[in-house]
Structure 1
Amino acid sequence: MEPNSKKSKMSNNKFKQHNKKYFQAKKQQELLQVGQRGFFATCNINEKACVRECYNLLNHYADALYGPEKAPEEKTPDPVIGKDDKEIDDDDDDLEAAAAKCKETLKHRKMRFQNVSTKTNNCIFIRTLLDDPVALGKHIVNDIASTGVSMSRFVLRLVPIETVCRANMPDIVNAAGALFDKHFLKEPTSFGIIFNHRFNQQIKRDQIITQLAELVNSKNVGNKVDLQHAKKSIIVEVLRGWCLLSVIDNYLECKKFNLAELANPNGKKEASSDDPDAKLQTVPDDPVSKSDSQDEESS
């Protein structure tokens, strides 16, 4: 009979062997980077389901607008007849090296849409390779508004972002300057600034609104502030050390890209004809927009 000490040692080793796979390090996720563009989404608790819905939404509408995403073509060398065994072995090695290279390329190739970490709860950022995410975002909200079908349960807002920069005033002003050249140089228009911040108290609301408004006016003196019916809305989303910037036409009319409100503009859910006792329910608000770490202001 084996001693108890030996049994306990064996059982401990067995426990460690069986549980190694449960304690493996998580795959490192790509982080936000300067110059990225994509889509900023807010959700209600279930972030994994929100990411899955974002992929489904974006790929569905992108395939309709731009066609299916094409995978990189794999090139294989043509077989050559009349070689000796040594040359054939060399060709086999070349094929294996080419196959390994293709696998590595596929592993690191960038997809049309890719989730990147914001390190902020209920805040999702989907990086895109599209040149103009705003065009796709407008197409999505227009289709949802016309059909009344949001195709999402967990995604609350889905806002296209044109550029990402560091969350400090010099970088924000530089990034905004290049962005405003595209939107505010030509014809005078009305504008408003939508500012939200999460887990960042360094960027002050009054400071950023004042500087960005002055920057817009410097592009064209005819640009005017309109808090209620702005034709162009400047989106400023500060997440920890990052700032997401975008300029969107008719943002307020599009319910601030809230998919649930776009699908149900009256804010009520119609009672089923089969259930006479069904009560009307209001569309839930975005919990992120009411968090203690965020302000939302216009100027």
Structure 2
Amino acid sequence: MSAGQNDSRKRSKKRYAAGHNKRWKGSRELEVGMQGILITCNMNERKCTAEAFNLLNEYADKLYGPEKLQDNTEGSSEEEEAEEEDVDDALKKEVAQLQASGAKQQRRFQALDSGANNVIFIRTQNLESDKLVHHILSDLHTTKKKKSRVILRMLPVTGTCKAFQEDMVKYLTTFLEPWFKTPNCATYQIAFKARNSSHNKRDEIIKSIAGLVGKLNPKNKVDLTNPELTIIVEVIKAVCCISVLKDYTLYRKYNVQEVVKEDAPKPDGAAIKTDTNMADQTKTNNAGEDDKEGKKDEGGEDKNVAEDKQEVDNGDGGGE
């Protein structure tokens, strides 16, 4: 084989490999029409993915039984052999592999690129992600047994649509009916979060969804303290992930780190009274301080409150 033919073949292989990698990546991204689980973490997505698979498979085995795996070892060896073949033969073999894999049952959990940092998306097949995650959090809340280190929140995604306001409202009109359409009704809140997307205004989205829920049944009422249901709206780039969750407040906003912590004991009345008396006495003793120092103290308190609110918003990832 001449040097020119050899160079031409190498260039063809590079183009084939580039196209193959592009197609593979595209099939591993969050898209409209998928269902699954959004999982947030803190700077360690690889370990988060491993923990997620372990946790999900542990509880899925209990609910649905062990997964029946397909033998896919042949595929990897065929891909290695493709490097030694001509481009045309390699393309034909890839088409045949895609057709064959299409007939096979997909894995029940598949990690995809979510489109945002510190967020992974686990696509689910042949199971209800909201029931599975609720079962996990219920068990963790009861046993208080910590089973992960880097996973923060697990949010089921039972519906997806385009991340534009008109598309969301149109999709939610039908999606929300099982929970909120007459004769069904419930108290609710809306938790909205947008990542890598700036074309949607939070207040407008929440207002439009609340109006839609009111039209489905006027008896549906907003409750920001302890709602029966929480409407989750998570926007990542051009995809809007939606779900309706129970026990959102009880299970610490579906945070697997917080749900295993013991509930803080409620202070008794005597302790509250003693603390109040001590505060009043301190206030009296400090009454002689000048007004300038008092203003400095007030300013510091307001700043702390603002920081606390910001911290809550960052932890919640949304709002009502």
Once the two structures are superposed, the pairs formed by residues 1-299 of structure 1 within 5 Å of their partners are 28=25, 30-71=28-69, 104-105=100-101, 109-185=105-181, 186-266=183-263, 290=314, 296-298=318-320
The match for 2:88 is: none
Q: Deviations over 1:222-242 (max 9, x none)?
A: 000011111000001111211
The match for 2:78 is: none
Tell me the number of residue pairs that the alignment of Structure 1 and Structure 2 aligns.
Answer: 233
The match for 2:82 is: none
Whole-Å separation in 2 of the counterparts to 1:31 and 1:262: 29
Whether the 8 Å CA contact 2:179–2:185 is kept in 1: the answer is no
Amino acid at match of 1:50: C
Whole-Å separation in 2 of the counterparts to 1:265 and 1:31: 37
Whole-Å separation in 1 of the counterparts to 2:103 and 2:150: 29
More helix by share: 2
State TM-score, norm by structure 1: 0.70
Whole-Å separation in 1 of the counterparts to 2:313 and 2:40: 9
Change (3 A) 1:107 1:153: farther
Further displaced range: 106-115 or 126-135:
106-115
Q: CA deviation at 1:289?
A: 6.1
Q: Deviations over 1:86-128 (max 9, x none)?
A: xxxxxxxxxxx9xx86994289752101111112100111010
Q: CA deviation at 1:175?
A: 2.0
Segments ≥4 residues shifted beyond 2 Å: 23-29, 71-74, 100-109, 265-268, 287-291
State TM-score, norm by structure 2: 0.66
Percent sequence identity is: 35
Secondary structure, in 3 states, of the residue corresponding to 1:262? Answer: coil
Q: Deviations over 1:262-288 (max 9, x none)?
A: 1114489xxxxxxxxxxxxxxxxxx99
Change (3 A) 1:59 1:103: farther
Q: CA deviation at 1:290?
A: 2.5
Over the aligned positions, Cα root-mean-square deviation in angstroms equals 3.1
The match for 1:278 is: none
Whether the 8 Å CA contact 2:190–2:232 is kept in 1: the answer is yes
5+ residue gaps, structure 2: 1-13, 73-92, 266-310
Whether the 8 Å CA contact 1:42–1:288 is kept in 2: the answer is no
Whole-Å separation in 1 of the counterparts to 2:64 and 2:31: 25
Change (3 A) 1:36 1:103: closer
Change (3 A) 1:265 1:258: farther
Change (3 A) 1:201 1:295: farther
Whole-Å separation in 2 of the counterparts to 1:48 and 1:107: 29
